[in-house]
């Protein structure tokens, strides 16, 4: 050990600096603009934002085995002429908010009038929310009434939409009045709601994939004017954002599942 240190000190100072720098992993990658062009491409360079040597424990190494530990952190302003990362981020966040809204309004142990509000009804004028074409009220803790007097021609379509809402509802009709008995809170009902929560989460992930695909396709349009290294770095940023969003969707599903099963 002492001999090794002695040899290291004998190296030229510049070479020692090079060796020291070479063992520092990039903990976080940041994109920085270089005001030069090479072969007609805008140039960007990645540099280490936190040049610190980290020594992982065996447990951490096992957990991270097979997965890259480097996270990308691109300044959106530096690449806004290539792609608007802030806009992509907002679109991904909207997917999360839509799922949370769906969970809050349609997946509750106790069915309430508000749970029926946004049920989509197919009408001659297109799809309309149930509360736009009816009056919904709570007659008793076991019964919800849907009054279709203002749009009697949509009664049959409303019944169909309520029955196919996935909320385990079996509506009954009396003229233009739809009676919706509230199902008892059984174990089967809870499990049915959990199943519906998983289906809605998968639909949210489908929406997220569309956002990611659209962003990647837009990025590819710049491949003739931007270096391949820059394209790959931005692609990694977009994929990282999508992965973080999937993790957030799964977290909300886990919380909702626990709530529904009690």
The verdict on 133 and 157 lying in the same domain is: yes
The verdict on 252 and 193 lying in the same domain is: yes
Dist CA 172 CA 219 (whole Å)? 52
- Residue finishing a domain among 181, 209, 232: 181
User: Do the domain assignments include residue 100?
Assistant: yes
Count the domains in the chain.
2
- Residue finishing a domain among 158, 181, 204: 181
pTM of this structure: 0.60
Query: Exposed/middle/buried for 222, CB within 10 Å: 0-12, 13-18, 19+?
Result: middle
Dist CA 130 CA 110 (whole Å)? 19
- Residue finishing a domain among 134, 153, 181: 181
User: What counts of helices (H) and strands (E) characterise the chain?
Assistant: 9, 9
pLDDT profile of the chain (262 residues), mean per 10:
48 46 42 46 45 44 54 85 93 96 79 81 92 92 92 94 85 94 83 91 97 94 88 93 97 94 82
User: Do the domain assignments include residue 160?
Assistant: yes
- 């969003």: which residue's tokens? 245
Element (H, E) at 115: helix 113-116
What is the domain range of residue 240? 76-107+186-261
The verdict on 245 and 195 lying in the same domain is: yes
pLDDT of residue 1: 46
**Two tokens at 15?**
């070479």
pLDDT of residue 110: 65
Report CA-CA distances (Å) from 185 to 141, 166, 204, 255.
12, 15, 27, 19
Phi and psi torsions of 137, nearest 5°: -145, 165
The verdict on 92 and 222 lying in the same domain is: yes
Dist CA 248 CA 260 (whole Å)? 18
Contact 187, 168 (CB under 8 A): no
User: Do the domain assignments include residue 238?
Assistant: yes
pLDDT of residue 69: 60
The verdict on 251 and 134 lying in the same domain is: no
């Amino acid at each position: 050990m002492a001999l090794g240190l002695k040899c290291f000190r004998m190296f030229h100072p510049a070479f020692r600096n090079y060796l020291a720098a070479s063992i520092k992993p990039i903990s976080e990658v940041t994109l920085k603009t270089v005001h030069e062009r090479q072969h007609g491409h805008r140039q960007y360079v990645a540099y280490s934002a936190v040049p610190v040597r980290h020594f992982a424990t065996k447990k951490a190494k096992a957990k991270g085995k097979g997965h890259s530990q480097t996270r990308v952190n691109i300044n959106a302003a530096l690449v806004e002429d290539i792609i608007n990362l802030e806009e992509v981020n907002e679109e991904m966040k909207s997917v999360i908010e839509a799922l949370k809204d769906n969970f809050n309004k349609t997946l509750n142990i106790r069915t309430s009038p508000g749970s029926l509000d946004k049920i989509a009804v197919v009408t001659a004028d297109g799809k309309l929310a149930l509360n736009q074409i009816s009056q919904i009220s709570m007659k008793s803790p076991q019964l919800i009434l849907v009054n279709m007097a203002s749009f009697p021609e949509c009664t049959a379509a409303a019944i169909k939409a309520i029955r196919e809402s996935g909320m385990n509802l079996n509506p009954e009709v009396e003229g233009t009045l739809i009676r919706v008995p509230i199902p008892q809170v059984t174990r089967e009902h809870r499990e049915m709601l959990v199943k519906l929560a998983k289906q809605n989460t998968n639909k949210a992930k489908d929406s997220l994939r569309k956002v990611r695909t659209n962003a990647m396709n837009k990025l590819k349009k710049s491949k003739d004017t931007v270096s391949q290294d820059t394209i790959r770095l931005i692609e990694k940023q977009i994929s990282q954002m999508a992965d973080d969003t999937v993790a957030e969707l799964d977290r909300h599903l886990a919380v909702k599942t626990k709530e529904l099963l009690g």
